[in-house]
Amino acid sequence: MAKSKILVVDDEAEVRKLFGDFLEHRGYRVLMAEEGAEALRILREESPELVLLDIRMPEMDGLEVLSRIKAIRPRTTVVMISGYATLEIAKESLEKGAYDYISKPVDLGHLEDLILMIEASKAMNNEE
Protein backbone atom coordinates (compact mmCIF):
# COMPACT_ATOMS: atom_id res chain seq x y z
CA MET A 1 0.00 0.00 0.00
CA ALA A 2 1.32 3.44 -0.95
CA LYS A 3 2.08 5.81 1.87
CA SER A 4 -0.21 8.80 2.32
CA LYS A 5 0.53 12.36 1.29
CA ILE A 6 0.29 14.38 4.51
CA LEU A 7 -0.13 18.14 4.91
CA VAL A 8 1.25 19.54 8.18
CA VAL A 9 -0.26 22.93 9.10
CA ASP A 10 1.30 24.72 12.07
CA ASP A 11 2.52 28.28 12.58
CA GLU A 12 5.50 27.01 14.60
CA ALA A 13 8.47 26.14 12.35
CA GLU A 14 9.92 23.70 14.89
CA VAL A 15 6.68 21.72 15.00
CA ARG A 16 6.50 21.55 11.20
CA LYS A 17 10.13 20.37 11.08
CA LEU A 18 9.61 17.76 13.82
CA PHE A 19 6.52 16.28 12.12
CA GLY A 20 8.05 16.59 8.65
CA ASP A 21 11.29 14.82 9.58
CA PHE A 22 9.45 12.10 11.51
CA LEU A 23 6.94 11.40 8.72
CA GLU A 24 9.40 11.62 5.82
CA HIS A 25 11.68 9.16 7.61
CA ARG A 26 8.72 6.73 7.59
CA GLY A 27 8.17 7.14 3.86
CA TYR A 28 5.33 9.66 3.77
CA ARG A 29 5.27 12.55 1.30
CA VAL A 30 5.01 15.61 3.53
CA LEU A 31 3.71 19.03 2.54
CA MET A 32 3.89 21.96 4.94
CA ALA A 33 1.96 25.16 5.50
CA GLU A 34 2.56 27.91 8.03
CA GLU A 35 -1.00 29.25 8.02
CA GLY A 36 -4.55 28.57 6.87
CA ALA A 37 -4.66 30.29 3.47
CA GLU A 38 -1.47 28.51 2.42
CA ALA A 39 -2.90 25.20 3.65
CA LEU A 40 -6.05 25.67 1.55
CA ARG A 41 -3.98 26.48 -1.55
CA ILE A 42 -1.88 23.32 -1.04
CA LEU A 43 -5.05 21.30 -0.42
CA ARG A 44 -6.46 22.39 -3.78
CA GLU A 45 -3.20 21.80 -5.67
CA GLU A 46 -1.90 18.61 -4.04
CA SER A 47 -4.97 16.79 -2.62
CA PRO A 48 -3.29 15.30 0.47
CA GLU A 49 -5.05 12.31 2.02
CA LEU A 50 -4.39 13.55 5.55
CA VAL A 51 -4.05 16.97 7.16
CA LEU A 52 -2.45 17.49 10.59
CA LEU A 53 -3.89 20.84 11.59
CA ASP A 54 -2.95 23.09 14.50
CA ILE A 55 -5.87 24.86 16.12
CA ARG A 56 -4.24 28.09 17.33
CA MET A 57 -2.85 30.04 14.41
CA PRO A 58 -2.86 33.73 13.51
CA GLU A 59 -5.16 35.04 10.77
CA MET A 60 -7.40 31.96 10.41
CA ASP A 61 -7.68 29.48 13.28
CA GLY A 62 -7.66 25.73 12.77
CA LEU A 63 -11.42 25.33 13.25
CA GLU A 64 -12.07 27.76 10.37
CA VAL A 65 -9.48 25.97 8.22
CA LEU A 66 -11.14 22.64 9.09
CA SER A 67 -14.54 23.94 7.95
CA ARG A 68 -13.05 25.16 4.67
CA ILE A 69 -11.18 21.90 4.07
CA LYS A 70 -14.40 19.94 4.52
CA ALA A 71 -16.20 22.30 2.11
CA ILE A 72 -13.47 21.89 -0.55
CA ARG A 73 -12.57 18.20 -0.10
CA PRO A 74 -15.04 16.50 2.27
CA ARG A 75 -13.24 13.13 2.15
CA THR A 76 -9.90 14.54 3.34
CA THR A 77 -9.03 13.19 6.78
CA VAL A 78 -8.11 15.92 9.28
CA VAL A 79 -6.48 15.41 12.67
CA MET A 80 -6.56 18.48 14.88
CA ILE A 81 -3.56 19.25 17.09
CA SER A 82 -3.39 21.74 19.93
CA GLY A 83 -1.25 22.73 22.85
CA TYR A 84 -4.33 24.32 24.42
CA ALA A 85 -6.62 21.32 24.58
CA THR A 86 -10.07 21.79 26.00
CA LEU A 87 -13.02 19.44 25.88
CA GLU A 88 -15.10 22.12 24.12
CA ILE A 89 -12.55 22.59 21.31
CA ALA A 90 -12.12 18.84 20.90
CA LYS A 91 -15.90 18.39 20.68
CA GLU A 92 -16.27 21.25 18.18
CA SER A 93 -13.44 19.81 16.05
CA LEU A 94 -15.14 16.44 15.85
CA GLU A 95 -18.52 18.04 15.11
CA LYS A 96 -16.95 19.95 12.21
CA GLY A 97 -15.60 16.74 10.71
CA ALA A 98 -12.18 16.14 12.25
CA TYR A 99 -11.21 12.47 12.47
CA ASP A 100 -9.45 12.93 15.81
CA TYR A 101 -7.93 15.49 18.15
CA ILE A 102 -4.53 15.16 19.81
CA SER A 103 -2.73 17.36 22.30
CA LYS A 104 0.77 18.84 22.20
CA PRO A 105 3.33 17.77 23.01
CA VAL A 106 2.46 15.06 20.50
CA ASP A 107 3.56 11.51 21.25
CA LEU A 108 5.07 10.63 17.86
CA GLY A 109 4.48 6.91 18.41
CA HIS A 110 0.79 7.63 18.99
CA LEU A 111 0.71 9.85 15.89
CA GLU A 112 2.24 7.07 13.77
CA ASP A 113 -0.27 4.53 15.14
CA LEU A 114 -3.13 6.94 14.37
CA ILE A 115 -1.91 7.45 10.79
CA LEU A 116 -1.58 3.69 10.26
CA MET A 117 -5.12 3.23 11.60
CA ILE A 118 -6.44 5.93 9.24
CA GLU A 119 -4.68 4.31 6.26
CA ALA A 120 -6.02 0.85 7.16
CA SER A 121 -9.54 2.23 7.52
CA LYS A 122 -9.33 3.98 4.12
CA ALA A 123 -7.97 0.80 2.50
CA MET A 124 -10.86 -1.24 3.89
CA ASN A 125 -13.39 1.35 2.73
CA ASN A 126 -11.89 1.35 -0.77
CA GLU A 127 -12.24 -2.45 -0.96
CA GLU A 128 -15.98 -2.30 -0.20
Domain coverage including residue 62: 5-127
Tell me the C-alpha distance between 119 and 121, whole Å. 5
What is the domain-level CATH number for residue 84? 3.40.50.2300
pLDDT given at position 16 = 96
CB–CB of 23/30 below 8 Å?
yes
Mean pLDDT for the chain overall = 93
CA gap 96, 3 in Å, rounded: 26
**How far is it, in rounded angstroms, from Cα 54 to Cα 13?**
12
CA 38 to chain centre: 14
SS3 33: strand
**Across residues 75-97, what is the average pLDDT?**
90
Residue 123: pLDDT band with limits 50, 70, 90? confident
pLDDT of residue 90: 87
Neighbouring-strand partners of residue 80? 53, 101
The average pLDDT across 17-45 equals 97
- Whether a cis peptide bond, with omega within 30° of 0, leads into 74 is no
User: What's the structural domain count of the chain?
Assistant: 1
CA dihedral 98, 102, 107, 109 (to 10 degrees): -30
Q: Percentage of the chain surpassing pLDDT 70?
A: 96
Instruction: Give the mean pLDDT of 104-128.
Output: 89
Task: Identify the weakest region by mean pLDDT among 49-58, 81-90, 116-125.
Answer: 81-90
**Local confidence band at 36 (pLDDT 50, 70, 90 cut-offs):** very high
What is the pTM (predicted TM-score) of this model? 0.93
pLDDT of residue 20 exceeding 90, the answer is yes
